[in-house]
Structure 1
Amino acid sequence: MMNAARLFDPRLGILGACLVLACGPAPDSTPDSAIGGEPSLSPEATAALVEAFQAELDAAWAQAQETDENFPGATAAFILPDGRVFGFATGLSDVDDEIPMTPDMRMGSGSIGKTYVAAVALQLAMTGELDLDAPVSTWLGDEEWFPRVPNHADLTVRNLLNHSAGMIQPYFEDPGFAVRLGEVFRDPDAYMTPEEFIAETVLDAEPLFPAGQGYHYSDVHYTLAGLAIEEATGRAYYDLLDEFFLDPLGLDLTLAADRRDLPGLAQGYAHASARLYGTPLEVVVDGRFILHPLQEWTGGGLVNNPQAMVRWGKLLYEGDAISGDDLPQLLEVGFPADSTKPHLGYGLAVSVAESEHGLTYGHGGFWPGYNSLLAYYPDHGMAISIQINSDESRMRDHMPNLAGVVLEALENAGS
């Protein structure tokens, strides 16, 4: 079962055109500040692109059904250099009830949420409220447990944000933690507080390397960063996120995952998490998560939609989301992934990588029942995002073909 694209002209703030789906208010209209200028494509070329993108998305879904890939359905979106956003869907939101996926549905976006945490930290750095190179002990040193954190005496906030702090990623690297988390998840309303999560995973552990002298991805780093942000400001992280970005940028399809009853959720299928943590396969019952999303907090901590994420990616990676000259810090790679290409690697919650279509900035995300991916192509001023309602899909296999459809249209328009 496949759905045609729903698209809108963000300058109008209403649906500009609809294919199959009924017209209605656009939940995530793009503010004028996000518009890049004259349309990148003519109306005819735009219509052809929309049709081709939908066909490619539908083909990916159809192929997955033939190969037994866990791909119930997907939402996807792209944003053009001129700021226009186009949202799409394919497949099923709920397999048992045969409910079609629709373009505006939300899913857990996992670690893509780290991009917002780093942006909050950078915004605070721009206003002098947070020094990224100051010791984390400046804000957390009075906590009784802090001296038991690996590398505690030498940690900076920047070490946490670029994953050079030297701690393990417990969700996938600690079998004992997986068992404990599975026990927590048996109560839908239970979750570990940030302090409990830190205590369960890294206290008294040997660091993987001295602070600032290596790279290892870990959610614990971002939990500590979240605590430092809240201590530095005296405010809740989610309040800062709303004030700095979600409200002023009109990212209405992005919500803090701070409760189980979040609107517009697609059913998620936790194929991988069922094996890791013993969770049920279906993660939404009666419109509510069966796992409390606050377990993730600043390790991710959002439900999202590709239409909002491509707008976020374009604004963030073009330097328009944060007030101040933030891009040099955001994109500075701590440890290059390739010594011959020192610009490739991980910055402040951004993976800087080469794809078959050129340089990309972005991030992926995993949360029980969902996989998400966001990529911005700086050489083309275009971003693309996809979410699949299974945490075991081969989502990265589909992104190059989808991106290729958009980039080919842009190249043809410029030739």
Structure 2
Amino acid sequence: MERFQRSHAFPGITASYVLPDGTSHSVAAGWANVENGQPMTSESRMLAASIGKTFVAATMVSLARERAIDLDAPLSTWLGQNSWFQQLPNHRSLTLRQLLSHTSGLPNHVYLPAFTQTVAQRWPEPGNPFTPETLVGFVLDAEALFPAGEHWAYTDTGYILIGLAIEAITGRTYYEEVDDRFLEPLELTATSASNKRWLPGLAAGYVADDNPFGFPAKTTDKNGVMVWNPALEWTGGGLISTSRDLAKWGAALFGGQGVPEKILNTMLQSVPIGDDMPGTYYGLGVAISRSGPLSPVFGHGGWIPGYSSSLRHYAGSGITIAFQVNSDRISHQSLTEIELCLAAVVISGGKETDCLP
């Protein structure tokens, strides 16, 4: 980790693995706060970003099994009473499964100019200016990317709708559901909702200067409070965690260490991402690689201003690895290199490999 931190020049990094027998280990390198010299530790918490989609999908699939909900039933069954529903692209044919698998044809509000501009104007405001309905509002009356179910396109907006569906079905908040179903039973004590500015144990994140939202270069102020409200992510991600907890979660979900197999089997029902990424699929909240020497690999990545995260389960060896970096100033290629190298080191039993910097 120290070698990666130096060679890639990011502030800090944590990593954790879980072996098939449940043995785990965590390490950290670099700084949780560069300016005050606070070292990164294995207990340092960071925003997990879209890795949270694995929890959202597992919650929805669990609900579906318990309540005999058809994931292919119209989304209007649960959200059709909302005044804005008929303004959704593809609203007549949207289903829960399409939202979970990113085959809905919905645009991704995160990448729309109107969202970027609005966040840039409003992030300094107190509270959370971006409720779930506000987020959905950015795609209303927009043109669908394609007819629902015909292609694949990643969209956080779909997961916001899943969050709203969970709450409509249960009459409870999403965070109450995920706490009761997974966080508490699996003793993921370092994982919680990232729905406020004060998040105990949060490592400061470092943001690219050219970030489109105009966020400051550092995610926290001198008191460790976030300068913008991470609640704007909600069920697009919505959790703060540690690499240790993320690896434990991956082992539970993908390795059979605490999540029913029927839930996983449903989540692994996948579609190809596209011709430009052969061997890569997406299930229900799960990215799947079926090509390469370590395949199949199940997991998810996460990116949010100031933080980058990875969770991967290597089915052949039964090993789960997670890592987090408190910076978004790192390329996708570099993150992939770290993933592959960590897997090589752990699977080989800690032997030196050619991939180390």
Q: Normalising to structure 1: TM-score of the pair?
A: 0.80
Give secondary structure in 2 for the equivalent of 1:373.
Answer: strand
Report the CA distance between 1:391 and its aligned residue.
1.1
* CA RMSD, Structure 1 to Structure 2 (Å): 2.0
Distance in structure 1 (CA, Å) of the matches to 2:245 and 2:225: 22
Report the CA distance between 1:176 and its aligned residue.
2.8
Report the CA distance between 1:328 and its aligned residue.
2.5
| CA pair 222-321 structure 1, distance change in 2 beyond 3 A | farther
Greater Cα offset, 89-98 or 237-246: 89-98
Give secondary structure in 2 for the equivalent of 1:190.
Answer: coil
- Alignment pair present for 1:301 and 2:238: yes
Tell me the residue number matched to 1:45.
Answer: none
| CA pair 324-81 structure 1, distance change in 2 beyond 3 A | closer
Tell me the residue number matched to 1:376.
Answer: 313
Q: Which amino acid aligns with 1:171?
A: V
Tell me the residue number matched to 1:396.
Answer: 336
Q: Which amino acid aligns with 2:247?
A: V
5+ residue gaps, structure 1, are: 1-56, 66-70
- Alignment pair present for 1:78 and 2:14: no
Tell me the residue number matched to 1:408.
Answer: 348
Tell me the residue number matched to 2:355.
Answer: none
| CA pair 335-402 structure 1, distance change in 2 beyond 3 A | closer
Distance in structure 1 (CA, Å) of the matches to 2:315 and 2:28: 25
Distance in structure 1 (CA, Å) of the matches to 2:239 and 2:269: 25
Matched residues, number = 347
Identity %: 39
| CA pair 188-397 structure 1, distance change in 2 beyond 3 A | farther
Give secondary structure in 2 for the equivalent of 1:366.
Answer: strand
Tell me the residue number matched to 2:3.
Answer: 59
Tell me the residue number matched to 1:258.
Answer: 195
- Alignment pair present for 1:193 and 2:137: no
Tell me the residue number matched to 1:348.
Answer: 284
Equivalent pair of 1:78/1:383 in contact (CA under 8 Å):
yes
Report the CA distance between 1:410 and its aligned residue.
8.0
Equivalent pair of 1:184/1:190 in contact (CA under 8 Å):
no
Distance in structure 1 (CA, Å) of the matches to 2:274 and 2:250: 22
Give secondary structure in 1 for the equivalent of 2:320.
Answer: strand
Report the CA distance between 1:277 and its aligned residue.
0.4
Give secondary structure in 1 for the equivalent of 2:348.
Answer: helix
Report the CA distance between 1:145 and its aligned residue.
0.4
Distance in structure 1 (CA, Å) of the matches to 2:321 and 2:22: 12
Q: Which amino acid aligns with 2:230?
A: P
Give secondary structure in 1 for the equivalent of 2:211.
Answer: helix
Equivalent pair of 2:219/2:228 in contact (CA under 8 Å):
yes
| CA pair 188-280 structure 1, distance change in 2 beyond 3 A | farther
Give secondary structure in 1 for the equivalent of 2:28.
Answer: strand
Tell me the residue number matched to 1:91.
Answer: 30
Q: Which amino acid aligns with 1:61?
A: Q
| CA pair 217-336 structure 1, distance change in 2 beyond 3 A | closer
Q: Which one has the largest radius of gyration?
A: 1
Give secondary structure in 1 for the equivalent of 2:63.
Answer: helix
| CA pair 337-313 structure 1, distance change in 2 beyond 3 A | farther
- Alignment pair present for 1:134 and 2:73: yes
Equivalent pair of 1:106/1:253 in contact (CA under 8 Å):
yes
Q: Which amino acid aligns with 1:382?
A: I
**Aligned runs of 1:11-410 on 2, under 5 Å?**
57-65=1-9, 71-128=10-67, 130-172=69-111, 174-199=112-137, 201-271=138-208, 275-285=211-221, 286-323=223-260, 325-335=262-272, 337=274, 344-353=280-289, 354-394=291-331, 395-409=335-349
Q: Which amino acid aligns with 2:348?
A: E
Equivalent pair of 2:73/2:96 in contact (CA under 8 Å):
yes
Q: Which amino acid aligns with 2:234?
A: W
Moved over 6 A (4+): 339-342
Distance in structure 1 (CA, Å) of the matches to 2:252 and 2:128: 35
What CA deviation, in whole Å up to 9, does each residue of 1:158-197 have, x standing for no partner?
Answer: 000000011122323x223211111121225333100011
Distance in structure 2 (CA, Å) of the matches to 1:249 and 1:233: 21
5+ residue gaps, structure 2, are: 353-357
Report the CA distance between 1:340 and its aligned residue.
11
What CA deviation, in whole Å up to 9, does each residue of 1:369-388 have, x standing for no partner?
Answer: 10001100011110111100
Report the CA distance between 1:204 and its aligned residue.
0.4
Q: Which amino acid aligns with 2:336?
A: R
| CA pair 339-217 structure 1, distance change in 2 beyond 3 A | closer
